[in-house]
Amino acid sequence: MGGSVRGMVSGIVMEKGSKIYVAGHRGLVGAALVRALQRQGYENLLLRTHKELDLTRQADVENFFQTEKPEFVYLAAAKVGGIHANNTYPADFISINLQIQTNVIDAAYKSGVKKLMFLGSSCIYPKEAPQPIQEESLLTGPLETTNEWYAIAKIAGIKMCQAYRLQYSFDAISAMPTNMYGPHDNFHPENSHVLPALIRRFHEAKKANAKEVVVWGTGAAYREFLHCDDLADAALFLMKNYSDLSHVNVGSGKEITIKELAELVKEVVGFEGELQWDSSKPDGTIRKLMDSSKLAALGWESKIPFKQGLIDAYKWYVENYDA
């Protein structure tokens, strides 16, 4: 069905036996997608590690699609990282992400995939976008400079899905999640996002019996978080219930200050020391809330309470990182 259909279902049904390819199945989002699909009884999953299939290699990707013939594709593979990583490796962030998306979307269309979902990020929006951020804010102003390379690649992915829908009637849709967290997150000391970084820092301070933990900024900035299992649930919902040109925001609709976040992580981890704020360091964007009313109108909302999700994320960290 082409782009003229507004928010309609395309009539394409993802059967329990359908062949489903999850690109990036070892990452935060991809692993959650695999869990959600298996929970709902989808067993015919195509999974390839980076070693088995390098998505930046066009010929390899085309060969995979022509040989395996997946019917549905979740494109969750990407090079991701925090501010430090984005500033340090801008060429990697734009080139690798553009290559992955272009190869997968094009090969999916050419091999006869029935439907594809492209997963992006809330960083696609202008730095000064009105809050809460609506889908219509895309390309209305300059991006946040610290991650514009990644953002531009993701915007190109949205536009590529739209272009293939308009020109070829290829059923490609895009979902833009807010800040994600949960099992399989990246807890790297330099390259991770704020929440996993705090979990790691408080845990290490607890183990070392440290007197205090220093956190950047004033703690006044607001952030919205969504558990990766909630996103996966939304992604499956959209695959079944949405077919249109526009991308869809996926958020929890709830905000928390970085100060409240740090206090909550401290409590969940069980760190007994003091919390100090280094106000000489930047706060980043003061507010970044997504408007997820479009998704809510379709009939989906997040279910995992934030504290429960944090307990879950911390448990996974201890079991998998604390070696």
**Residues 6+ positions from 181 with CB-CB distance below 8 Å:** 28, 193, 195, 196, 225, 226, 227, 228, 309, 310, 313
Q: Report helix angle 28-39 to 228-241, nearest 10.
A: 60
Active site residue 222: no
* Active-site residue, selected from the candidate residues 21, 42, 109, 150: 150
Residue pointed to by tokens 């070392």: 208
Among the listed residues 22, 319, 13, the one whose alpha carbon sits nearest the alpha carbon of residue 187:
319
Q: Which amino acid is at 95?
A: S
**Residues 6+ positions from 297 with CB-CB distance below 8 Å:** none
Phi-psi region of 13 (alpha: psi -120 to 50; beta: other; left: phi over 0): beta
Tokens of 96: 């690798």
Report, as residue numbers or ranges, the catalytic residues.
150
